Structures are given as structure tokens and as C-alpha cells.
Amino acid sequence: MAGCLSMSFIFLCVFMCCCSERVMGGDPDSLQDFCVADRQGKVLVNGFSCKDPKMVSAEDFFFGGLRRGDTNNAVGFNVTAANVNQIPGLNTLGISLVRIDYAVDGINPPHTHPRASEILVLLKGQLLVGFIDTTNKFHSKMLKKGDVFVFPKGLLHFQQNVGVRNAVAIAGLSSQNPGVQVTANSLFAANPPMPDGVLTKAFRSDKTVVDFIQGKFM
Ligand SMILES: *[C@@H]1O[C@H](CO)[C@@H](O)[C@H](O)[C@H]1NC(C)=O
């Protein structure tokens, strides 16, 4: 009986180790060479169903659109994405990238990617970057051209152009579809809006302050 129990315990441990390894990685591993996204597919799966491999061509793995984004907006930055929505061949491969353009003083405001870690390389300019971990410790660096910085999966992070010219970065992400949640917009520009009572309490503030900030997102 005791032997039986310990055997099941070992199996349970092995099973849990296998599972937790999956949870710690990025997107699930591919079980074939590729599974090019079939956007017309009627089957609902985690990602997109596969296009017939005989119909796949080099175009499915190509994107010609990673050009300069227009930074003429309230925060002075622009993210141009190259993920499964632009490149169907990325389906099931667990990677994607973005190009980020920053105007002088521009920021990529504090945000999170629910499904991806990010590795950023600065191609031009000077950036202040940072993330906050779950103990609220702030990890920050000043980057110059050629420097690389990592933002761990799910953690709140930002980049700010502190140079005198525009800046450009490329970032790789460990998901075909990293997702993004911009914290200020989520809190102050949700639709329908977050209840005032939640925001006033959370920010230890009052309705005047909350209304003022919400007004900035109109
Ligand atoms: C980002 O740049 C593209 C291409 O110039 C432009 O169409 C888009 O409106 C810009 N997005 C923002 C938020 O400014």
C-alpha cells in the first residue's frame, strides 16, 4: 500500500513538473514544420487553425511593413507590430516582433504583455527603460544605441525617449500574439468606464481628480 502510494506520488510529481514547464514557457510548441494561420478557418482553436500546407507559400512568412510609424500623437510614440495578425506563418511559432518609434520626449507608456516576455534592442537614440516586478521593485536602465534590455512576461514596463532626437527600437516577443494592456488607458478610458468609487479609493483620491484624468483620455 505504502509502495503504491509513493509510486502514485512520483507519477504525480513527474506530471506536475511536465505541466509547470509548459506554463513557464511562451506559446505552446509546434507539432509540425508550420501551421500557417487560416483566417477563414471555422474551427475554434487556441490560435488559428492551419492552412493546407500545399497552399502555403513564402508570402505567408513575409511582412514588408515594418516602416517608420507616425509619432504625432499625445504620447509621442508608435508601435508597428509584426505578429500573427500581419504574418500568418507565425501561427504556433511562439514569436513576433515590433518596431517602436519615439518622438523627442515621447514615451511608450507603462503597459503589460499578458502572453510574452520582450527583448528590446535600441537601434537609434537614447531611451530610459524600466519595469516593476511583483514586489514593486523598479528595475531601470539608460540605453544607448546597440543596448539590449529585457522585460519579463506580464510585468509593467515602459520606455521613454530622453535623447535630443527621435529614437527607434526593435523588440522580439515570446508569443505569436503578445497582447498589450496600457495601464493608464485601461484604468481611465475603459468602456464602459470603471466606477468612480473604485478609482477614487484605489488612487486614494477624490472624484475631481478622477474626472480630471478621465477627461484627458476623451
Ligand atoms: C502609427 O503610424 C502609422 C503609420 O504612419 C499610422 O497610420 C498610425 O495612425 C500611427 N498610430 C498612432 C497611434 O499614431
Tell me the domains of the chain and their CATH numbers.
58-179 (2.60.120.10), 180-218 (no CATH)
CB burial readout 78-101, b (16+ within 10 A) else e: bebbbbbeebbbbbbbbbbbbbbb
Task: Decide: 106 in ligand 1 pocket, CB within 6 A.
Answer: no
- Judge residue 24's burial from the number of C-beta atoms within 10 Å of its C-beta, 0-12 exposed, 13-18 middle, 19 or more buried: exposed
**Cα 125 to Cα 115: distance, rounded to the nearest angstrom:** 28
68-72: which pairs have CB atoms within 8 A and are 24 or more residues apart? Answer: 68/99, 68/101, 68/168, 69/99, 69/100, 69/101, 70/101, 71/101, 71/102, 71/103, 71/106, 71/166, 72/103
- The pLDDT, as a whole number, for residue 12 is 52
Q: Ligand 1 centre and the CA of 35: distance in Å?
A: 30
| Most ligand 1 atoms within 8 A of CB, residue of 78, 111, 166 to mutate | 78
**CA-closest residue to ligand 1 atom 4:** 69
Helix (H, G, I), strand (E, B) or coil at 215: helix
Give the phi and the psi of residue 21 in degrees, each rounded to 5.
-65, -40
Can you tell me which residue has the cell 521593485? 137
In the chain the beta strands, taken as DSSP E runs, fall at: 77-82, 96-102, 107-112, 118-124, 126-132, 138-144, 148-151, 156-161, 167-173, 181-182
pLDDT band of residue 218 (cuts 50, 70, 90) is confident
Q: Flag whether pLDDT at 8 surpasses 70.
A: no
Query: For the segment 143-199, what is each residue's pLDDT rounded down to a tens digit?
Result: 999 999 999 999 999 999 999 999 999 999 999 999 999 999 999 999 999 999 999
Query: For the segment 18-71, what is each residue's pLDDT rounded down to a tens digit?
Result: 444 444 567 888 889 999 999 998 998 999 999 999 999 999 999 999 999 999
Q: Ligand 1 centre and the CA of 116: distance in Å?
A: 23
Q: Cα angle at 143 between 141 and 144, to 5 degrees?
A: 155
Q: Flag whether pLDDT at 111 surpasses 70.
A: yes
**Cα 80 to Cα 97: distance, rounded to the nearest angstrom:** 9
Which of the 8 DSSP states describes residue 70?
P
Q: Mean pLDDT throughout 106-134?
A: 98
Task: Decide: 205 in ligand 1 pocket, CB within 6 A.
Answer: no
